[in-house]
Chains A and B, each alone.
Chain A
Amino acid sequence: MLRILCCVKRVPAPGARINVTADGLAVDAAHLGFTTSPHEECGVEEAVQIAERCGGEVTVLTLGPPEAAEQLRYAASVGAHRGVLVPADGGARDPQRTAAILAEAIRRLESADGAGPFDLIVFGNESADSGGFQVGVRTAYGLGRPIVNGVKGIEIDGPAVRVRREIDGGFEVYEMEMPAAVGVKEGINLPRYPTMKGRLASKRLEIEILDLDAPLGGQTMVRLRRPAETVSETAILGHGPEAAPAVADVLESLGVL
């Protein structure tokens, strides 16, 4: 039976505009919902599909506020079996600290009851909000596991995991012996919606709590701000199909026609 761990992050779900709080230290989420970062939502789906295909158990791990339990319950509603929350203290977070805490959490989970290493650890390629592109890599390195990012396809083949990564006009193939880790990208699958049965199961999920900490790293956020709006004067070329000659003129002036 495969043991798969999936790490997820709770992030705001923005629409057309993202605002910043008055102190400049966070996204103003007063009018926003929260969601699982998109790559990681696909990571949970992929882990559940592998477990369904090959037989296995899916554990979802998150570092975040108490409300991040919602993301663990959502994962359970689409098929994950266990949910583990490492409560964040609300203080500064940076990629080094986050990765150190996650690696320690995984060590604890793996040493509990002599469970041994997870066969596969699934990260999102990067988070939708801070987008540091490193927590998965740092965590895997801390655990001594191989990791490949940008993964758009996973195939389990005995003790090995074969993964596909998109490149311009095709894909690359990597093959790792498990235990291994991957950073997956949206598009690897289309996540399912929770069923009624799944929703009921998620309500019964007993969330495991791990209290852990690690020292701050060398990168400190000073503030968030919105970039200067690029206000371009939009030239209206016309209304309806009559605008076609004006469009062709533009294409000719750019040398693409």
Chain B
Amino acid sequence: MISPVLAVLEHDRGAMAEAAREALTFGRGLAESLGAGLEALLIGSDDADLVAEAGAYGAAAVHTVTHPVLSDFGPEAWGEAIARAAGMLKPAAVLAGGSERGNEVMAQAAARLDLPFVSNCTAIDPSGADGSGVDSGSGEWSITRIQWGGSLLEDVRLAAALPLVTCGLHAVASEPLPEPVSPAAAGLEIDLDPALARTVVKDRVVLEAGVTLPTAPVVVGGGRGVGSAEGFGPLEELAGLLGGRVGCSRAVTNNGWRPHSDQVGQTGTRIAPEIYIASGISGAIQHWVGAMGSKHILAINTDPEANMVVKADWAVIGDLHEVIPAISAEIRRRHP
């Protein structure tokens, strides 16, 4: 019997992260290629709703770890819990979502286990076949991961007693099973050092409620072409009409027109809206990798050859200062 794949369930005080659903979806594929089952590790909670949701995404069993030091998220405490659980459960692999927390806790676990950790994978072939379909017999895994935020792919060989991986954020679309399974939940007895509390969240500050950039269904983005901080007024108006948020490129942040928290890109926010309306944005690599998770893209640009126009589903060729107010006016006309 081949040991199961163990997926770490990222959650924030009981709310499951989309990255956890992606990890379970990706984990089902990995488990299948190993001929193994899929199980989940739930840290700092034994909440029945989380267990049920793990089942909806294919986990046959959920191992829970609760401990006073796990009262809130803490990278060291979570990393230690993963390392200890891996030692007890001896899975075929441990997998998490490629979110900021997912990569951080897997790095912590890998450091503790003194094992390699391959982050942000897009494809894993446990036979080591390197695309040829023939088992290399080396026991090494062939993995494809992202570099440069997704502008390049890197093929790697992984030699490890226990593979530790994350799947790239939005590298798979999360998908529940057609029929949910009801996983068995069982607590793991792990005694954690209270000193791990040194990196547990102490406090939280909520700045805004409601729609935020990573979760907005519509993002109206502006680049250098917007021209000034005031130039973002019409973009704000359109985003408001559509229940969305305004985003921007790195050039805009560097000019001080918008705060960095609005920046879409490799070093900013990865967005995944239903539609991204990108105006006055040329589409440099840095920006594109933050925008490529969008389901649809509409570009507004004076340059029909701009990278963003070429990569968009739809484009309007023209000056955003004229086009965006016209779109807002049209929306008002249809929905007075």
Instruction: Show the binding face of A for B, using Cβ within 8 Å.
Output: 14-18, 20, 27, 38-39, 94-96, 99, 125-126, 128-134, 137-138, 141-142, 146-150, 164, 166-177, 183, 185-187, 190, 217-227, 230, 232, 234-248, 250-252, 254-257
How far in angstroms is the closest Cβ of chain A from B213?
8
Kindly state whether residue B157 has any CB partner on chain A within 8 Å.
yes
Contact flag A186-B267 (CB < 8 Å), given A226-B153, A234-B313, A251-B242: yes
- CB neighbours (8 Å) of B326 from chain A are 241-244
Q: Is the CB of B318 within 8 A of A257?
A: no
0/1 string, B183-213, CB within 8 A of A gives 1: 0000000000000001111111111111010
Q: How far is the CA of A131 from the CA of B201 in the complex (A)?
A: 25
- Assuming A187-B253, A225-B153, is B285 touching A15 (CB within 8 A)? yes
Interface status of B116 (Cβ within 8 A of chain A): yes
A219 touches B323 (CB 8 A): no
> A39: which B residues are within 8 A, CB to CB?
267
Closest 7 CB pairs of A and B: A187-B260, A241-B326, A218-B116, A134-B107, A133-B103, A141-B111, A137-B107
**Contact assessment for B274 and A146 in the assembled complex, using a CB-CB cutoff below 8 Å:** no
A183 to chain B, nearest CB (A): 8
Contact across chains for B152 and A186 when beta carbons are under 8 A apart: no
**Cβ contact within 8 Å between A142 and B111:** yes
Contact B199 A256 (CB under 8 A): no
Bound CA–CA A86/B327 (angstroms): 56
What is the count of residue pairs linking A and B with beta-carbon distances less than 8 angstroms?
A: 260
**When the two chains form their complex, are residues A218 and B158 in contact, meaning their CB atoms are under 8 A apart?**
yes
A171's partner among B154, B205, B317 (CB-CB below 8 A) is B205
Is B323 a contact partner of A137 (Cβ separation < 8 A)?
no
CA distance A169 to B15 in the complex (A): 15
B298 at the A/B interface (Cβ < 8 Å)?
yes
Q: Given that A96-B116, A146-B199, A250-B314 are known contacts, is A256 also in contact with B242, CB under 8 Å in the complex?
A: yes
**B334 contacts which chain A residues (CB < 8 A)?**
248, 252, 257
Among B133-148, those with CB < 8 Å from A are: 142, 146-148
Question: B154's closest neighbor in chain A, by CB?
Answer: A224
Give min CB distance, A121 to chain B, whole Å: 14
Query: What CA separation (Å) do A185 and B104 show in the bound complex?
Result: 13
- Minimum CB–CB distance from A237 to chain B (whole Å) comes to 5
List A contacts of B299 (CB < 8 A): 234
Q: Which residues of A contact B111 (CB under 8 A)?
A: 99, 134, 137-138, 141-142
Query: How far, in angstroms, from A255 to B254 measured CA to CA in the complex?
Result: 34
Contact A219 B116, beta carbon cutoff 8 Å: yes
* Cα A111 to Cα B203 with chains together (Å): 35
CB proximity of A67 to chain B, nearest CB, Å: 20
Cβ of B88 under 8 Å from chain A = no
| A-B residue pairs in contact (CB < 8 Å), sample of 26 | A129-B147, A129-B148, A130-B154, A131-B149, A134-B107, A138-B111, A142-B111, A146-B198, A174-B200, A187-B253, A187-B263, A187-B267, A218-B158, A218-B160, A219-B116, A219-B156, A222-B130, A224-B152, A234-B299, A234-B311, A239-B317, A240-B322, A244-B326, A248-B327, A255-B274, A256-B244
Contact between chains at B158 and A177 (CB < 8 Å): no
CA distance A197 to B243 in the complex (A): 49
Instruction: For chain B, residues 93 to 112, give those with C-beta under 8 angstroms from any C-beta of chain A.
Output: 100, 103-104, 106-108, 110-112
How far apart are the CA atoms of A169 and B209 in the complex, in Å?
A: 6
- Alpha-carbon gap, A20 to B155, bound state (A): 13
Among A164, A169, A190, A237, residue most surrounded by chain B Cβ atoms (within 10 Å): A169
Q: Does B60 contact A (CB under 8 A)?
A: no
User: Is B173 engaged at the interface, CB distance under 8 Å to the other chain?
Assistant: no
Residue of A nearest to B151 (CB): A18
Q: Is B12 an interface residue (CB 8 A)?
A: yes
Find chain B residues with CB under 8 A from A150 CB.
100, 104
Contact yes or no, B327 A244, CB < 8 A = yes
In this complex, what residue of B is CB-closest to A176?
B198
A222-B331 CB under 8 A given contacts A173-B204, A234-B315, A247-B316: no
Residues in A neighbouring B154, C-beta threshold 8 A: 130, 221, 223-224
Kindly provide the distance from the CB of A91 to the nearest chain B CB, expressed in whole angstroms.
16
Q: CB-CB < 8 A to A230: which residues of B?
A: 311
Known: A15-B285, A248-B327, A256-B274. A237 touches B107 (CB 8 A): no
B contact residues around A134 at 8 Å (CB): 103, 106-107, 110-111, 117, 119
* A257 and B335 contact, Cβ closer than 8 Å, known pairs A168-B215, A218-B115: yes
